[in-house]
């Protein structure tokens, strides 16, 4: 397969056998980003868990200190005053029946859906549509709540949801490369610390097997195991 010139150039600057500190990796990623758009800093963590077992599912949320740099479009499915509170808090859309029908019709121009508990009877019927897109509200992630205003503000401020995939990998974006190095470093460490705290008691052997940081279009930098120890 033909390798693009940009990737060839990157490979000259990245030692794929080296284990980097978080700061070293981010510094190099920022310096080697040559594309014409603002790339994100992506993180992929391979965990020693088996997500097929419910007691080894790693899933949660984390509020990144400096946000993600991404505009998040929020829909709140709620009735009456709750819908009004959501709009005042910054949600792009809020309501009940009209949005249930729009979603049934295929509409999904949103990044996060928050719902009040009393609407979940109808929202739950949309599982086949919302589930594969990662949009189904969930109490564990704070997206099923009576306090919709607080939930909207948290999402807008940089609260992200993560979930381990079938292969045992957690993948997420931790901010834009246009952020300062220190901001990206703090976001990364906050995320890593959250992952470490969520180690299932039933998980045996090595919990964090590998961590890679990369830009949206760049190569992966393997992060030193010493950085994992610091995050505990």
Q: What is the mean pLDDT of each run of 10 residues along the chain (232 residues)?
A: 57 77 95 85 95 90 91 95 96 96 92 96 93 89 94 92 92 95 96 94 90 91 84 64
Query: So what's the pLDDT on residue 38?
Result: 85
CB atoms under 10 Å from CB of 85, counted, come to 19
For residue 30, give the nearest of 223, 175, 189 by alpha carbon: 175
Query: So what's the pLDDT on residue 227?
Result: 83
Asked if residue 175 lies in contact with residue 183, where contact means CB atoms within 8 angstroms, the answer is yes
Query: So what's the pLDDT on residue 6?
Result: 57
Query: So what's the pLDDT on residue 5?
Result: 62
- The correct CATH number of 16-67+160-231 out of 3.40.50.720, 3.40.50.1220, 3.30.190.20, 3.40.640.10 is 3.30.190.20
pTM: 0.80
Cα–Cα distance, 82 to 170 (Å, whole number): 33
Query: So what's the pLDDT on residue 188?
Result: 96
Query: So what's the pLDDT on residue 203?
Result: 84
Cα–Cα distance, 170 to 2 (Å, whole number): 29
Query: So what's the pLDDT on residue 34?
Result: 80
Residue extents of the structural domains in the chain: 16-67+160-231, 74-156
Q: From its phi and psi, is residue 80 left (phi > 0), alpha (psi between -120 and 50) or beta?
A: left
Query: So what's the pLDDT on residue 2?
Result: 47
Cα–Cα distance, 192 to 180 (Å, whole number): 19
Cα–Cα distance, 109 to 42 (Å, whole number): 23
Whole-angstrom distance between the N-terminal and C-terminal Cα of the chain?
41
The residues near 137 (Cβ < 8 Å, ≥ 6 apart) are: 77, 113, 114, 115, 120, 123, 143, 144
For residue 30, give the nearest of 220, 215, 198 by alpha carbon: 215
Fold classification of 74-156 (topology level): Rossmann fold (3.40.50)
């Amino acid at each position: 397969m033909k390798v693009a010139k940009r990737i060839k150039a990157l490979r000259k600057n990245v030692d794929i056998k080296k284990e980097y500190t978080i700061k070293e990796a981010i510094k190099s990623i920022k310096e080697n980003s040559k594309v014409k758009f603002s790339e994100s800093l992506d993180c992929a963590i391979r965990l020693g868990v088996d997500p097929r077992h419910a007691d080894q599912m790693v899933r949660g949320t984390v509020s990144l200190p400096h946000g993600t740099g991404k505009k998040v479009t929020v829909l709140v499915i709620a009735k009456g005053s709750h819908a009004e509170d959501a709009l005042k808090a910054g949600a792009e859309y809020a309501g009940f029946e009209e949005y249930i029908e729009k979603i049934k019709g295929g509409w999904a121009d949103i990044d996060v859906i928050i719902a009040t508990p009393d609407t979940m009877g109808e929202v739950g019927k949309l599982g086949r549509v919302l589930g594969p897109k990662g949009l189904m509200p969930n109490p564990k992630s704070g997206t099923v709540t009576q306090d919709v205003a607080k939930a909207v503000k948290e999402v807008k401020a940089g609260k992200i949801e993560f979930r381990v995939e079938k292969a045992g990998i957690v993948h997420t974006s931790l901010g834009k490369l246009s952020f300062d190095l220190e901001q990206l470093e703090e976001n990364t460490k906050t995320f890593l610390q959250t992952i470490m705290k969520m180690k299932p008691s039933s998980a045996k052997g090595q919990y964090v097997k590998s961590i890679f940081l990369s830009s949206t279009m760049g190569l992966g930098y393997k992060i030193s195991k010493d950085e994992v120890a610091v995050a505990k």
